[in-house]
Chains A and B, each alone.
Chain A
Amino acid sequence: MNRRQFVKIAALSGATFPLPAIVGRASAAGETLYVADAGGAYTESYKKVIYTPFTASTGIDVVPVVRPAQALAQMKTMVETQNYTFDVHGAAGLDEGVRYDAEGLSERIELPRSIYDDLPDSIRNVPGFYPDSVAAFATVYRPLATKRDLKRVADIWDMSIPGVRSLRTGGRDNIEWALRADGVPAGPAIINELKTKAGWERAFRKLDEIKPKILTWWSTAPQSAQLLQAQEIDITATYANRAATLIRQGENLKVLWNEGYYTAYGYVIPKGNPKVHLVQKLIEFSLDPKRQAALASELMQGSASKSAFEFIDKKVLEYVPTQPDNFKQMVPLDVAFWGENLTKSNELFNQWLVK
């Protein structure tokens, strides 16, 4: 390539991607918070409902930052070197909150009484974790393929029901699902069963039954949605809001709430972050019931704030995990138990999987 060619090419690329008029945004008079949230459509909704109004009311700029889906390693490096490439980790799972606390990576703040009291008891007591949404993990299926409605998790194992199966990779969810399918009631009974070695073996024996019928073991929530949407799979267990988004786009899918579990997502502040007081303002701002409801309506997730429920868009209520009819069919995820057994369950599962 000679120089003339290069100039032509540069001109062409300039036409496609115009050079930005403003390089970088002039920072506002106030300060800036870098929020590492879940990205994509999630960020768009948060911008609209939380970030922009927050900037308008406080003068603090909010810039969404990309983070890996699993940010534990990044949080550890940041905290240990006191170099903060973001100020708060948004959309962290309750189970991750437990890990951050155990590793001493999260900063604790005190929420005002009125906000704290408005959070469900099962999700508000992990130190350093501040929930702002409730998510459900449940069985999802395509009625056109299964030809009938699924009633319980054991139906996934029932091969008289047609449909291509897929499950999430990893120990926890498979062990939970296998024991449900084997007749153990969801909730404390499963944790009890896992107190003994026989209980673990029972779970893997049940998984042996379904292994040959699993088309693929998906690993990320968007991947499960992609597989459902491409009609590669007909039955799986995934996050209810993923199914709800697909249903809103016209996919023929149903959610079986029965025997599902719910868990929370929320904020974790990296320990030692000097901007902790600004982050606290953002967290309190986002836990306002009306804003919580607006987020729930957009993302079809449950609100952490209990009093938000009455403000949620009635059209999406059917898919909101905290809607009483849905909620009562589910159990909370035991994050304490699974936190302690994360390594064990994953190693056993991986061994079993590659066998």
Chain B
Amino acid sequence: MTDRTTIPGSWPRSDRRLPLSELLARWPFLQIAPLLTFLSVVFVLPVGGILVLSLFDAHGALTLENFSRVFKTNLYVSVLVRTIQTAAWATGICLTLGYPVAYALSKANAGVRAAILTSVLVPLWTSFLIRNLSLIIIFGRRGLINVTGLKLSWLDHSIAFLYNWNGVMIGLSSSLLPLAIITMYSVMEGIEPNLEKAASTLGARPSHGFWRVYFPLSLPGVAAGGILIFVSALGFFITPQLLGSPRETMIAQLIIEQVTEVLHWNFAAAISAMLLLATLISFFLFDRVVGMHILTGEEGDQHPSRLNRMLRRGGMKLINGISWITASFGLVAEKLTGRTVKLRQRVSRPILSMVSLAIALFLILPIFCIVPISFSNSLLFGWPPQGFSLRWYTSVLSSPIWVLAFWRSVGIAAITSLMAIAIAIPAALFLVRQKTRAKFLIILLLTIPIFLPHIITAVALFYAYARFGLIGTWVGLIMGHMVFALPYATMSLMAVLKNYNRSLDYAAWTMGASKFKTFRYIMLPIIKPGVYGAFLFAFIQSFDEVTISLFVTGGSFTTLPKQLYQQAVYGASPELAAVSTLLLALILGFMLIANSVGGTSRRV
């Protein structure tokens, strides 16, 4: 152990071993160093090498021609603007719909919570290749809703859910709502339930208690969820293409076309640079209007701009106003019925449950459509399923390729997410606690891998890996997946850490606990929902990732998504449905066990 007799104020000489905690206290920068080092080596350098291509022409001479081409037609700018609009809408919708569900989750009893959580978590495990197909089955022109509605004469003509703006929002929210719900839920889990009771004891009506006490405390979750959804939506292109109209063409689609179809990488790099710039501006506006501090804590900026102060005050007034409006409903109800109704119990609760139920159904129904298809005897993935057969199960379970791919993907996802969490916890602590302007840039950097088309990262990594013999290796694939897992893990951890009360640490230290013990026995149990959430997101990112895997692994090295892609690229067959159903059964079993073993304790 270290020599404890050092004179206060002086630091041990370098030949003595310094406890990690003291090192970190002296150089807090060390907490974020692993994250920055990793991203620099595995993302910034390789991808930067591709992006600088935008400054050169096909013969390697310096030019601005690629950028002037972006502005030559209004195609790229208008698609870029619409991409940002689409992402912003998706963010708004997911947060608005997700908030009541997350709230219901944090207030519900164990049984209801398990049911909602299941319907939120299960869709995450269905490959994006299949999710879009199942949405067509439900919402299509001849989909289940329209056919049923027409048959029962509820509708007199079919509703155009798809191939328009609605279709894109249906597609994006079915993919991104779980992310919104889990991020917000993990923060709400940490909000002390007695605070609302305390407010009530002091005479606040329930709506005041909610809007002025609970809601502000839940904002870090809203902010983290919002940023993650916004950048994820920015990078989506298959869903808008399948379910939207040309008006919802996403910029990623145009970049990918330049990379894979036309091979104009210099131009693709220029469009990507514009996407980066546009996102930077969006982040900057978000910071000015709402304030990144909701997520990151104060930024050492003691003198926020007047606009910012005005907006913050305005925001508080708005919340205040809402709380009075909702409170007045309660007052009116009391006047009308002549007795003190607990409006919250009588009206809010059922409404909350109905909204949550509807959203849960929206998330889970398309997934359950897949089950009957997996027993189909047809060669095609289609509705209604034809015949009955177990052939697709036999073919999946008897194939060593599928089984091997499954285990390999589980292994890769497990290592990826554990390593991502190990890097993300100190990084999130740093980002929430330290006062530095660089935070803003670090968060932007973290999110770039999500919205930059994955193909660019894949191409960049291929060149980098080729130099170090990493192509076709586990290490290479895991490092590639970590690039996408880290942002989700870090952001969701930041959200729970933002509300963590540091006095608890000080209390533990005063009572003699070491820094490690404080972390292990005080902080970790409190931020557990966030750690589970972070692990889940990181795991899924790796478990569903296909572009990097297609590029950097070859030969007989396959992963589950690669194997699914192999089946889907020529045409989806019920075999895909069989794989999804097996995964579904596995996850349901997993949750059932976790719930029965975990009993009534609150766990994700």
Q: Do A and B come from one complex?
A: yes
| Contact of A164 with B141 in the complex, beta carbons under 8 Å | yes
Task: For B261, list chain A residues within 8 Å (CB).
Answer: 70, 72, 342, 346
**Contact indicator per residue, chain B 437-476, by CB within 8 Å of chain A (1) or not (0):** 0000000000000000001000100110011000110000
Binds A, one of B113-121, B305-313, B331-339, B588-596: B588-596
Residue-by-residue, is A40-83 near B (CB-CB < 8 Å gives 1, otherwise 0)?
Answer: 11110000000000000000000111111110111011101111
Name B400's contact: one of A20, A32, A40 (CB within 8 Å).
Answer: A20
A-binding segment of B401-409, B485-493, B518-526? B401-409
Which residue of the partner chain, among A70, A77, A99, contacts B462 with CB atoms under 8 Å? A77
Report yes or no: B241 in contact with A219, Cβ–Cβ below 8 A: yes
Check if A16 is an interface residue, CB within 8 A of chain B: yes
In the bound complex, do residue A246 and residue B262 qualify as a contact, i.e. CB atoms below 8 Å apart? no
Which A residues are CB-close (under 8 A) to B136?
Answer: 226, 230, 232
B95-138: which have CB < 8 Å to A? 133, 136-137
Q: Which of A16, A23, A66, A81 has a CB less than 8 Å from the CB of B566?
A: A66
Return the CB mask of A200-219 against B: 1 if under 8 Å, else 0: 00000000000000011101
A125 interfacial contact with B, CB 8 Å: no
CA of A221 to CA of B570, assembled, Å: 8
Contacts of B406 in A (CB 8 A): 17
Flag if A41 contacts B263 (CB, 8 Å): no
Which residue from chain B places its CB closest to the CB of A27 in the assembled complex? B556
**B242:A229 contact, CB within 8 angstroms:** no
CA distance A346 to B136 in the complex (A): 27
B590 and A223 contact, CB distance less than 8 A: no
Within the complex, the shortest CB–CB distance from A150 to chain B, in Å, comes to 21
Cβ-defined contact, A77 with B459, below 8 A: yes
Q: Which of B46-81 contact A (CB under 8 A)?
A: 73-75, 78-79
Report yes or no: A24 in contact with B556, Cβ–Cβ below 8 A: yes
Query: A73-B263, A86-B554 known; A40 and B594 CB under 8 Å?
Result: no
- The answer to whether residues A83 and B471 also contact, given A230-B383, A232-B136 and a CB cut-off of 8 A, is yes
Bound together, the chains give a CA A23 to CA B397 distance in angstroms of: 15
Q: In chain A, what residue has the closest Cβ to B469?
A: A83
Q: Which residues of B contact A242 (CB under 8 A)?
A: 571
Q: Is residue B562 within 8 Å, beta carbon to beta carbon, of the partner chain?
A: yes
Given the contacts A42-B570, A347-B73, A354-B246, A76 and B140 also touching, CB distance less than 8 Å: no
Partner of B593, one of A12, A39, A246: A12
Given A73-B459, A164-B141, A66 and B570 contact (CB-CB distance below 8 Å): no
- Residues of A82-121 at the interface with B, using a CB-CB cut-off of 8 Å, are 82-86, 99, 103
**Cβ-based interface call for A316 (8 A):** no
* Residue A307 interfacial (CB < 8 Å): no
Q: Is the C-beta of A353 less than 8 angstroms from some C-beta in chain B?
A: yes
Task: Indicate whether B25 reaches chain A with its CB closer than 8 angstroms.
Answer: no
B466 contacts A83, C-beta separation under 8 Å: yes
Q: Are B382 and A230 touching (Cβ within 8 A)?
A: yes
- Give the distance to chain A from B379, nearest Cβ to Cβ, in Å: 6
B382 close to A229 (CB less than 8 A): yes
| A225 touches B (CB below 8 Å) | yes
Tell me if B572 and A226 are in contact (CB < 8 A). Answer: yes
Of the residues B141, B242, B552, B594, contact of A9 by C-beta under 8 Å: B594
A77 and B463 within 8 A (CB) = yes
Q: Which residue of A lies closest to B259 (CB)?
A: A73
Chain A residues within 8 Å of B24, by CB: none
Residues of the A chain whose Cβ atoms lie less than 8 Å from the Cβ of B75: 347, 350-351, 354
Q: Check if B381 sits within 8 Å of A226, measured CB to CB.
A: yes
Give chain B nearest CB distance to A78 CB in angstroms. Answer: 8
Let me know if B471 and A85 touch, CB within 8 A: yes
Q: Are A12 and B589 in contact (CB under 8 A)?
A: yes
Complex interface: chain A residues within 8 A of B580 (CB): none
- Cα distance, A9 to B597, chains bound together (Å): 11
Residues from chain B with Cβ under 8 Å of A192 in the complex: none
Closest residue of chain B to A215, judged by CB? B163
B249, A69: Cβ atoms under 8 Å?
Answer: no
Residues in A whose Cβ lies below 8 Å from that of B551:
74, 77, 85
Q: Is the CB of A16 within 8 A of B550?
A: no
Cα-based distance from A73 to B594 in the complex (angstroms): 44
Expressed in whole angstroms, the Cα–Cα distance for A68 and B549 within the complex equals: 10
Residues of A within 8 A of B463 (CB): 77, 80-81
Given A43-B570, A76-B263, is A68 in contact with B79 using a C-beta cutoff of 8 Å?
Answer: no
In the complex, B585 has a CB within 8 A of chain A: yes
User: Are A41 and B262 closer than 8 Å at their CB atoms?
Assistant: no
From A73, A83, A169, A342, name the one whose CB has the most chain B CB atoms within 10 angstroms. Answer: A73
A164 cross-chain contacts in B, Cβ below 8 A:
141
Verify B262–A249 contact, CB threshold 8 A. no
Digitize B382-407: 1 where CB-to-A-CB distance is under 8 Å, 0 elsewhere.
11001000000000010010011011
A246 with B380: CB separation less than 8 A? yes
Q: Which residues of B contact A41 (CB under 8 A)?
A: 379, 570-571, 573
- The reply to whether the CB of A183 lies closer than 8 angstroms to some CB of chain B is no
Which of A16, A83, A216 contacts B585, CB < 8 Å? Answer: A16
B141–A231 CB distance below 8 A? yes
The reply to whether the CB of B260 lies closer than 8 angstroms to some CB of chain A is yes
Q: Contacts A215-B163, A249-B379, A346-B261: A65 and B459 contacting too (C-beta < 8 A)? A: no
Question: For the complex, is A34 an interface residue (Cβ under 8 Å from B)?
Answer: yes
A245 within 8 A of B: yes
Known contacts being A350-B75, A354-B75, is A1 close to B382, with CB within 8 Å? Answer: no
Q: Which of B262, B379, B407, B566 contacts A17 (CB 8 A)?
A: B407
**B598 is an interface residue with CB less than 8 A from chain A:** yes
Contacts of A18 in B (CB 8 A): 397, 403
Contact B582 A17 (CB under 8 A): yes
A5 at the interface (CB under 8 A from B): yes
A64 to B566, CA, bound (A): 10
Contact residue among A23, A223, A245 (Cβ-Cβ distance under 8 Å from B242): A223
Q: Check if A38 is an interface residue, CB within 8 A of chain B.
A: yes
Asked if A22 is at the interface (CB within 8 A of a chain B CB), the reply is: yes
Q: Does B288 sit within 8 A of A, measured CB to CB? A: no
Q: Which residues of B contact A8 (CB under 8 A)?
A: 593, 597
- Cα distance, A80 to B551, chains bound together (Å): 14
CA distance A37 to B460 in the complex (A): 24
**B552: A residues at CB distance < 8 A:** 85
Interface centre among B82, B259, B386, B556 (most CB of A within 10 A): B556
A99 touches B263 (CB 8 A): yes
- Listed by A's residue number, 18 A-B pairs whose Cβ atoms lie within 8 Å are A1-B598, A8-B597, A9-B589, A16-B585, A17-B397, A17-B403, A25-B556, A40-B567, A42-B570, A67-B550, A78-B462, A85-B472, A86-B555, A226-B381, A231-B141, A232-B136, A232-B141, A346-B257
Minimum-distance CB pairs A-B, first 8:
A85-B554, A40-B570, A81-B466, A222-B571, A66-B566, A70-B260, A353-B246, A77-B462
Given contacts A65-B556, A232-B142, 12 further A-B contacts (CB under 8 A): A1-B598, A12-B586, A21-B400, A40-B566, A66-B550, A73-B459, A103-B263, A222-B568, A232-B136, A342-B262, A351-B75, A354-B75
